[in-house]
Structure 1
Amino acid sequence: MTPKILTASVVLASLALAGCAGKPKELPPQPEAATTTRTPPPPPTPAPAGPVPGSQADFLASVISDTIHFELDKYNVDTESQGILQSQAQWLAKYPGKKITIEGHCDERGTREYNLALGERRANAAKTYLVGLGVDASRINTVSYGKERPIALGSDEASWAKNRRAVTITVE
């Protein structure tokens, strides 16, 4: 090759390369966004407005208390306890299919046997009062835990007073 042809070839090749460098490279087309039909989630189910009617939670929300208290070595239902049991009887009248268990409890003083017997008398006193208000006796079970299930663990009058109790629990 002659130097003129060689120079011309180099110039043409340089021009060709220079022409390519200025052109923007073509990129492959962007993939289109996938269009899937997405069903929106269902709206959240609203929570119930209150406790389920007839449940233990409903019982607790509807009565004055589920617990009555007693004096030392006593099992008589006092005036305050009568009001509590009356509210329980009214709730039970609304739900005639519900049954309850009344738990009798004592403080830590006295023997196990003595406290089991006293707890039974306390549970039965509450039952007798409810039956007197018209609650069918077959709907009420009683159990005595004596001093075995204290709710206050102190060895003082305030703790003992909390533990001398009868508690009503719904079962059906």
Structure 2
Amino acid sequence: MTSDTLYSIPVDKADGTTTTLGEYDDKLLLVVNVASRCGLTPQYGDLQALQEKYRDQGLQVVGFPANQFNGQEPGTNEEIQEFCVATYGVDFPVFAKIEVNGENRHPVYDVLTTTPDASGEAGDVQWNFEKYLVAPGGSVVARVRPRESPATDEFVALVEANLPVRV
């Protein structure tokens, strides 16, 4: 799949309407599969902090809730939205719940999971909060496994190195 296709794949918003990631084609896109009842859920706060700090330099975080890892995202789309805003002040888009692995894997993740991580391993998402950085124009520049917090110096440096707007 080409990068143009990543931006043209339909994605459902939490309110039931459909859009694409095309509105972010000039941004550094940080795509994360998220869950509300996971030990890694506090990463929502780190993701929001990145969004706030780097928004004006072209970072856009987007979340895709998935309930495939020990049922850690059981809520409805509406409940997920309420949790994200009330608990972590999330103002980045959190789309409708999807599957990130298996035969019903969302097409966005069909594209993303072909990207290898730092050790060269591609394939299925390992757990909640796996992170993908997509450069403006659509090339996936990094895949970061779930346990690496988006607040680490290494992750922040990766984001800063790929921002489309320098200050």
Q: With structure 2 as the length reference, what TM-score do the two structures score? A: 0.32
Structure number with larger C-alpha Rg = 1
Q: Relative contact order: is structure 1 or structure 2 higher (C-alpha 8 Å, sep ≥ 6)? A: 2
Q: Which has the higher helix share?
A: 1
Q: With structure 1 as the length reference, what TM-score do the two structures score? A: 0.31
